[in-house]
A and B are shown apart, each in its own frame.
Chain A
Amino acid sequence: VIAVTSGLGLAVALLSGAGLAYEVLLIRVFAIEQFHHFAAMAISIAMLGFGLSGTAVAFADPAAERARQWLIRSSAAAAPLLAASPLLARTIPLDAARIPWDPGQWIRLAALYLTLAAPFTAVSLAMLLAIRLALTRPGGLYGATFLGSAAGSVLTIMALMLMPADRAVFLPACAAAAGVFLVTRRPGPVLWSLAGAGLALAGLVGAAPELRVNPYKELPRVAAFPEARRVADRHGPLGWVAAMDAPAFRYAPGLSLQYGGAFPRQAGLFVDGEAVGAVSDLSGEAGEFVRWLPAALPFALAPRRVAVLGTDGGLGLEIALGHGADSVLAVELYPGIVELARRLAPPASPSPFADPRVRVAIGDARAILNRETGPFDLVTIGGGAGVGGLHALSEDFAHTSEAYQLYLARLAPGGTLAVTQGISLPPRAAVRSILTVAGAVRRIGGKAVDRGLIVAHSWSTVTVLARPGGFDADDVRALQAWTESRGVDLDWYPGVDTAALHPVNVLGSPDLILAATAATRSAEAAAAFADGYPFTVRPASDARPYPQHFLPAGTTLEMLRQDRGALLPFAEWGPIAAAAAVVQAAVLGGLCILLPAFARRGRRPPLGRWARLVGYFGLIGFAYMGAEIAAIQQLQLLLGHPVYAVAGLLALLLSASGLGAIWSDRQPDRHGAPVAALLGLTLVACALWLLALVEALLPASFWWRTLAGLVCLAPVGFLMGTPFAWGLRRLTREGDGSVGWAWASNAFASVVAAPLATLVAMERGSPAVLGLAAAAYLMAAALYHRAAGYPPA
């Protein structure tokens, strides 16, 4: 006999934690095996397993004893499925790049979805059936699912610090196996769980096959070079950093075509299989090499105190040191890059990270420059990973308008901000940089913007320089001498006669000059230019931190319509994958709600009540996910570190929701509608003021900011945990499968909401997502109020 005890609560928490941990770890694994956007899509579809469990319960509507049997079986199945799923997934040879035209890939994709969805279905079924047993007080067990998930999110990050993602992915199976002992001691289920745990342990010690890195990434390509060998790895929550030594590997973004000197021997550095820099042997003649990279342009102005945001494995520092900088602040997100760069530096060419003039700061550039006040003669930053639209969905607070204002504020009088990035045709990122930099100079009250902006381009890069106090004639002469000797063109500088320019590197259109002209004329002219440009080039902001998103939705649709997807290679894949996830989840979720409802019309609640039920739980599922995504996006800016902040905030939100759910058990039914309405109004306030509050708090110390994050998120999370528990309490008294419908509609709506919230944030900003979540909670409150008195006690 299964009783609703603290043991069952702990079992539910373990299963829930295992489910969340598996989700997070799968995203890490898929980020290596595929690309980030595909990972998010695949996992979101797998999460449909949560909804499927609800559908199964709604359809079968098992009586109490049968429900107990199901609970035992699904708990027992969780561990083996969690252990087998990652193994099976590795055997499916999916090539996601071929999905648009190869029907065979669709079959593999479907197989992958099923493989991934199975453990989520088992975990979710066990949680749902346990909650169903707690007839009058479901909040306690529902709260336990939140608390388990919160613990799962934190423990996952800790696990990723200790072991690679492809091993850590087997840990959730162990947690699930432990949960079974709290549910039953019957030999059958226990043996199944032990088998799952055994399989997981084998995976944990490395018996599983190695991950297959996506063959389109740079790492496998470089691995095919003669004499190539992987010399070191570092694993962490941020990503997998690998170093590859290959004599034929070369990393020289935009190297001047005038350079005829020696090329340094390099070891490539890769994060999740994508090249991010190189460790270079700059001994002897190869030391000259760094003076011929376009990122060296601002060093023609002889800065002494330099901040390098993003180190390219040390190349950025070598440029600064090679030009005689006295002090360099090296800001690097990945600790593994610094560690490997130090370790792999050849004896004849010591690592720049070990140079006494260099101070290394690990973390997010924005957070570090919030506390490092400088002042600097030069702040230099790369343009981010804007390759082929693969990163269009990547949140990046380092290239927003507010970030550039911060960098400018950290400059000494006469200091320069430099942004260098690869060029696209037609220019997109470069045009956005010009508009963003000029706008930032204007916002911080710089003198005439036309004197404070310089734009230069090489055959493959664009560099934008900004100085709030303006550049003088000597500066311009120094830059002209540098660019002329390197075959680089100056497109804009104070006093430029654009008609007299004769570029060495012809781009085919004068977009850079037009952008600089508009950007320096006035804010209105810059906005008008951006509006008339064929790509989305308005500056990214903290509310819409997507600096690599350039294609309007209409353009993407037009590309999809082209014969054989002729233009698809030029599309932005992140938004396409997110949109595909929305459509797939909406269709599959809709079918999984509607078909059983039709098939079981005689045994489901009357249509009106059924629709209200599905509407209520669907709305709060949608709202919870939307509010979670938007609030965490804004608050991670407050805490600074993209992974640890998200994990911490997620744990806080889930814990607060768990406590809210438990608290709701002790409150009368009539409080449900007012609390949901209060939640909606709180989110309206968040939509209006949270981001402004975050930006105002950025200069505060870390502990004050952490406290502020806690104060902001905890009450909201607490309230967010109540509507589901309250709604559920009404339903558990019924024997018509209503709990299953509630669970299914809530889960399916959450799955649709996750990618949809990302798309809305990209197009309209995170405050808009919070606004939508608020509206959904307010509608849910109205539905709850309308259904007051149901069911009769």
Chain B
Amino acid sequence: MGPGQADRTAAERHEMVRQQIVALGVSDTATLRAMRTVPRHEFVPAEVRRQAYGDHPLPIGYGQTISQPYMVAFMTELVRPRRGMRVLEVGTGSGYQAAVLAEAGATVFTVEIIGALADSAGERLRRLGYTGVSVRHADGHAGWPEAAPFDAVIVTAAAGYVPPALVDQLEPGGRLVIPVGSIYGVQNLVLVEKGAQGRISTRTLLPVRFVPLVSGLR
């Protein structure tokens, strides 16, 4: 990529953050910095690269999508990213959400059910220098027990319920963000918080549509 193109994508990212994210109320500094830094166009297929900074999700193959920029920023802000925190992501997809979390300072463990996506995301993240991200091809319902506990869990695909393993692997004081609802149709984005004594509380935040969280390896 030449310097001119790099300038152009940087400008697009700044514009994306200003128009689509800050304007809708996301204000966390680390999140906004990460969204301005991570080259989203690197995480989408070449045929839709020109739309990488548009205000919508994009297909990444295998029936999966990269979420709308606002949704990535909103979910990132919800887990209050900070340097050194450990985050489990379920549903790696293209790796964009993991990169944003890593850019915000987190150590990221990300699980992807579709083998080809896990491979390509891992390669992409390495190429872009995101060494703090570990990618695993696995069933997201089980979380990542060996790396637990986590300060935060982000599920970027819809599930029919909150997998108990993900709640278990959450550190006291931790936060879990998950779209919950029917596989098709509208889901609710739910924030699950684990209190210092392990008490669970939730906040139902907004209606969303995600691709399904598919169990089983492919």
A binds B: yes
Chain B, residue nearest A505 (CB): B202
21 residue pairs A–B, Cβ–Cβ below 8 Å: A216-B184, A221-B214, A246-B216, A248-B141, A250-B141, A250-B163, A255-B164, A258-B200, A260-B164, A260-B168, A387-B186, A390-B184, A422-B182, A424-B186, A425-B188, A425-B204, A459-B192, A460-B180, A460-B188, A504-B200, A506-B201
Closest to B63 in A: A215
Are A506 and B141 touching (Cβ within 8 A)? no
**A interface, by DSSP: helix, strand, loop or mixed?**
loop
What distance in Å separates the Cβ of B79 from its nearest Cβ neighbour in chain A? 17
Contact B204 A255 (CB under 8 A): no
Q: Looking at the complex, which one of B182, B212, B216 makes contact with A248 (CB distance below 8 Å)? A: B216
Contact indicator A257/B162 (Cβ below 8 Å): yes
- Compute how far the CA of A388 lies from the CA of B160 in the bound complex, rounded to whole angstroms: 14
Enumerate B73-99 residues with CB–CB distance to A below 8 Å.
none
Other-chain contact of A508, B163, B186, B205 (Cβ < 8 Å): B205
Identify which of residues 121-164 in chain B touch chain A, using a CB-to-CB cut-off of 8 Å.
139, 141, 160-164
B207 within 8 A of A: yes
Contact for B184 among A217, A564, A570, CB less than 8 A: A217
Q: How many A-B residue pairs have CB under 8 A?
A: 118
When the two chains form the complex, which single residue of A250, A259, A424, A460 contacts B207, counting CB atoms closer than 8 Å? A424
Question: What CA separation (Å) do A250 and B183 show in the bound complex?
Answer: 12
CB pair A257 B192 closer than 8 Å: yes
B18 contacts the other chain (CB 8 A): no
Given known A224-B218, A263-B164, A424-B186, contact A564–B201 (CB-CB < 8 A): no
Contacts A226-B217, A248-B139, A506-B202 aside, 18 further interface pairs with beta carbons under 8 A come to A215-B63, A246-B216, A257-B167, A257-B192, A387-B181, A388-B182, A389-B186, A424-B207, A425-B188, A425-B204, A459-B190, A487-B202, A504-B200, A504-B202, A505-B203, A570-B186, A570-B207, A570-B209
Q: Are B141 and A425 in contact (CB under 8 A)?
A: no
Interface size of A in residues (CB-CB distance below 8 Å): 45
A255 to B204, CA, bound (A): 15
Q: Which residues of B contact A507 (CB under 8 A)?
A: 204
Verify A487–B200 contact, CB threshold 8 A.
yes
B200 proximity list for chain A (CB < 8 A)? 257-258, 487, 504
B residues near A (Cβ < 8 Å) are 56, 63, 139, 141, 160-164, 167-168, 180-186, 188, 190, 192, 200-207, 209, 212, 214-218
A387 to B209, CA, bound (A): 12
CA distance A570 to B205 in the complex (A): 15
A572 CA to B215 CA in the complex, in Å? 28
Q: How far in angstroms is the closest Cβ of chain A from B121?
A: 19
B197 to chain A, nearest CB (A): 12
Q: Within A214-231, which residues are at the interface with B (CB < 8 Å)?
A: 215-218, 221, 224-228
A251, closest chain B residue (CB): B160
- Which residues does chain A contribute within 8 Å of B203, judged by CB atoms? 505-506, 508
Residues in B with CB closer than 8 Å to A255 are: 161-162, 164
Q: How far is the CA of A388 from the CA of B167 in the complex (A)?
A: 27
Question: Is A423 part of the contact surface with B, judged by Cβ < 8 Å?
Answer: yes
Q: Known contacts being A255-B161, A459-B192, is A248 close to B204, with CB within 8 Å?
A: no
Contacts of A387 in B (CB 8 A): 181-182, 184-186
* Shortest beta-carbon distance from A92 to chain B in Å: 20
Closest A residue to B167 by CB, please name it: A257
Q: With a CB–CB cut-off of 8 A, which chain B residues contact A569?
A: 186, 209
Check if A590 is an interface residue, CB within 8 A of chain B.
no
CB of A249 within 8 A of chain B?
A: yes
Interface assignment of A560: CB less than 8 Å from any CB of chain B: no
Contact A388 B185, CB 8 Å, known A248-B139, A506-B202, A508-B203 = yes
Q: Give chain A residues whose Cβ lies under 8 Å from the Cβ of B215.
A: 225-226, 246, 248-250
Decide: A259 near B204, CB < 8 A? Known: A246-B216, A424-B188: no
Residues on B with beta carbons closer than 8 Å to the beta carbon of A487: 200-202
Q: Which of A189-246 contact B (CB under 8 A)?
A: 215-218, 221, 224-228, 246
Which residue, B56, B162, B167, B214, has most C-beta atoms of chain A within 10 A?
B162
A506–B204 CB distance below 8 A? yes
Which A residues are in CB contact (< 8 Å) with B186? 387-389, 424, 569-570
A570–B217 Cα distance when bound, in Å, is: 30
Bound Cα distance from A446 to B8, whole angstroms: 69
Query: Chain A residues near B160 (CB, 8 Å)?
Result: 250-253
